[in-house]
Structure formats: C-alpha cells, structure tokens
Chains A and B, each alone.
Chain A
C-alpha cells in the first residue's frame, strides 16, 4: 500500500482527484447557495409581468366606475404592492383620482398626452399597465405603475451579488491546480535532469558511478535499476581487469622464463669467446650470439603481437613532435648502422602538422621494427634514410633503404611478425602505410591524414 502511494502515478491521481473534488465542491456548494437564495426570493413572492398585467385588467374590469370602488381597488393593490402608484383618467381626459403617485399628474389629459404617456412607458421603468374601468372605454382607464425592481430576476440578482466570488473561487481552484501540477512536473523534471547528469558521471575507469536513491517512486526504481547496472558493469570490469592482469602476468612470466636461459646462453657464449678459438668455433659462437639476439627479438615481437591482437597493448596518446622524435630515434640507432657500414641520411622537411597525436612508445616500437628490418634485410644497400614531407592531403614519414623490398629474398627472412606489428600499430594510431620503389630505393611510407 505504501509502495502504491509512493508512486508518481498515485501522487498525480491524488492531485487530479483533489482538483476534481474541489470543482465538484464548488459547483455543489454554489448550487446549494443558489438554491437557498432562490427559495428565499421565491418566498418573498416576486411578481411576474404578465400576471400583474392580467390581474390589473381583471381587477379594473371587476371594479365599477365609482370613486369608492376605485379607491377600494387602490387600497387592495397597495396592500399587495405598497410601491404601486395608481390613478384614474376619465373618458374626457380628466384626472379623477390618484394613489401613491410620486410625481405631479396633469389634471387634464389630452389625447396626445395620453399617447405620449403610453409611449414613454412602453418597456420602461416603472412597469405600467393601463386598463378600462369595468372593461368599458367610456368609464375611463386606470393606470397602475410598479417599479421594475419588484420584478427583478432572482438568478441575475444572485449572479450579480455572488457571481464574481463564484468565478474567483473557480479561478483560484484552476490556478491552484495548475500551480500544483507545474510544481509536481517541475520536481519530476528536476529529478530526471539530476538523474541524467548523475548517469553521465564517470569514474577514472570510464564507468558510470552509482546514484544515491532518495525516493522509492518510479524514478527511484529507475535509479535502483541504474545502480544495479553500474554494479554489474563494475563487476564485469573487475573481471576483465583480473583477466587482463592474469594474461599480462602470464606473458611477462613467459617472457622472463624464455629470456633467462637465453641470458645464460649468451653469458656462456661470451665467456667462451674470450678464449683463443679456432676460426670455425669463433664463427659458430658469433652465429650463436646473433641467434640469441634473433630469438630475443622474436619473443619480444611475438608477445607484442599477442597483446596487440587482443587489444591489450597499452596505448597512451600524446603530442609528439615528429621531426624531433625521428632525430632522437635515429640518434639511438646511429651507432648500430654506423658499425654495419650504413650511410645514414636525414631528409627532414616541414610538415603540415608537425606534432602528431600518437603513442610515443608505439611510434618507437614501430620504427624499431622498421629499422631492424633495414638492418637485417637491406644490409647490402648500405643506406638508410628518413624522410618527412608535407604532401597534398597528408604528411609522410619515409624509411628509405636500397634493399630488395618486401618481395626480396634474404637469408634472414622471417614470418613477417615485425611488419604485422607495424601494420597493427599504424592502424591503431589512425595512420596509413604503404611501400613502393623509387629508382633504386625501397620505401616504406607512413601517412598521417590531415583530417
């Protein structure tokens, strides 16, 4: 029951019922007052025009044309209508008698006086009835005048007296209903807006945060449902984090477990290499060392590939000044290329967008793989060049060598995992790449679109 009355629907129904009830009360109350007043008026015996006219005609017909009878008529009517004024004009226009006439009557009435009197009284106040005495024209006529106030319609009287209050009452009820409805909906709107804002809030993990539920109505139920969803999302995120953590740990441990014996292998090879060895043995040691290095790179690439393909590789976008980054990156690789007899060229031009929104670690990894490829597969060309150029619609970074390109056959050709990582990272950072030949040079071009 409490739940029912806690609902917004029930609350609004209560408001509607109250409003309807008040309207009904107003009308019923109005009707009661109206009826009471009408009854009171009715008790006061309010005359009607037609009845008065008929009864005056009747009374005049029943009265003989003597002064006493006419006076009796006056008295009788003045008892019933104390406000009534009456007078009698003979056939020749002489005023024979009068009763309670508040103005001065002419003693002699000409025909035109009579006509103008009749004309002036028609439809006007006082209500005037003219009737022949005994019903005969030669007995003259008697006139009765009654103020029209006596005939006043009780309804209009009531309306005049109480109508304004009745209207004001209805108006007040309507206004109160509108105000209450407005406040009710404003409250709902406010809560919905608050809910919408609260739903848009995110915690540092990018998940929505729970809402404090204050009421148990429909919005409160919505808030509860939202909180349940947040809880489920948090659980799911926590599970995902745990799985991610387990996967990372597994990969890290796997990497560790492979690298530790590789370190021992390298250590032993290094120790042996310090002894005087026949040429064949020294060469075998060198091969062993480069194989260790190769396995190391392969493991590294394999783990990076696994993480990248399952979207677990950490990505943090930052502002990177491309030309500066390339100079610093090549500076770190310079000694290796120099040692291998490479000519190193920097052909850096101005870019449309000198600073890119990318992950610097991804960029390093990408260029490490590309330069590693040059070192391994384009050793004979003895050239590595880095170019940057602002082209139409995009900025380009080019890694140039004089190798055989991707279709070339080298002793060190692998499964292409290094380039697969480059491909995934290029796509992951919203860049594109392609490779082509330019005369003797093989070029890998990374493009940064302008929009």
Chain B
C-alpha cells in the first residue's frame, strides 16, 4: 500500500495510464456527440435547443463530482497527511472551476431561448454560482500560501466547509420552486427521458468523468516533479525521455 502512495511510483503509473484514459475519453466523446447531435430526435417541447443538455448536464455533474473529490481528498490529506491526496485535491480546483463555468454559461445559453432570460437569481443558479466562487476562493487561498503543506491544510478546510453547498445545489429544484427544470436522470428505474436521449447523455457524463481523470493525472505529474525536485529519482526522470 505504501508503495502505491509513493510519489515516485505514482508518477510512473500515472504516466502509463494517461494515454489509455485519453483514448477512452476521445472514443466516448465521439460516440456521445454523434448520438446526441445526429441520432437523438428533437424534443417535442424544446425542439433542437434541448441538445445543449448533452454538454450542460455533464458539465454541471462534473462541477459537483469534482468538488466532492477535491473535498474528500482534502479531508484524507488533513487526517492522514498523505502527500498524493494533497496534490490531487489541489489539481481538482482549476478543472472543477472551468466545468462550473461551462455549466453556468451553457445554462444561460439554454435559459435564454427557453425561459426568455439569460439569468435568474433562483436557488439552483445561485447555488451553482456559489460553487464557482468556492473554487475561485480555493485557488486564491492556495496561491496566497507559499508552503504547500500549509496551503493544503488551509484549502482542505475551506473545501470541507463548502461541501454544504453541494446538497443545496442538488436538492434546490425540489426544496424551492425554481425556474430550473427537475432532474431527468436521477430518478433511478424510471428516468423521465427517452433511451435515445438518455444514451448520449450518459455517454457524455462518462466521457467528461474519464476526461477529468486524464487531465488530473497530467497535472498531478507536473506537481509531483516540482515538489520532489530535490530527490534523485526526479533527476533521473528529467534525464530520460523528453
């Protein structure tokens, strides 16, 4: 177990995994977009505009999923002081922030033709905007502390406090009377969505998830090299292939 948590071993393992994960991402994206744009029929209420869903829902899902990973890894780093957990938590923030931004903007682009407005201060939209600020706050806090170990502790606490926002986002459409439509997929067993639309949606969610792990591993390897620069194994790695 200790071996797998060593930065040296992880660096090599991540390097072998990324091409495979990247390839899988590409395949999933191609099939998902093909089914979503060419095969799935137009919606009887929303016409063609609903196709925004195939990027909006995965982006929104990722914004929450990445936050939970970031906070979870932060908690592990706090309790067990595991360096890799610190690094993983820190690389989540920029990717999570960009998916949150994507969810907000695509939501806006979907809201304008469907609701007649780019933005409304309703519970779902506002809590998602707060999530975006949590990511930005996390990155700002991290950038303001020079020592990576201290930065990891401070950001983990911030991330853990912000976790309360996640159930608020998820249940906002049920707790409050909002403009935002309720979930189409989460009702396990009886999804209120046709299989021809559900298939590309699930593929895109899967594609975005694998994509996240691909880019997270690349970022982690960069971070490991920098933090371990005093070790002999990094010197060896630098001498080898470019």
Chains A and B belong together in one complex: no
Chain A residues in contact with chain B, CB under 8 A? Answer: none
Hey, which bits of chain B sit against chain A, CB under 8 A? Answer: none
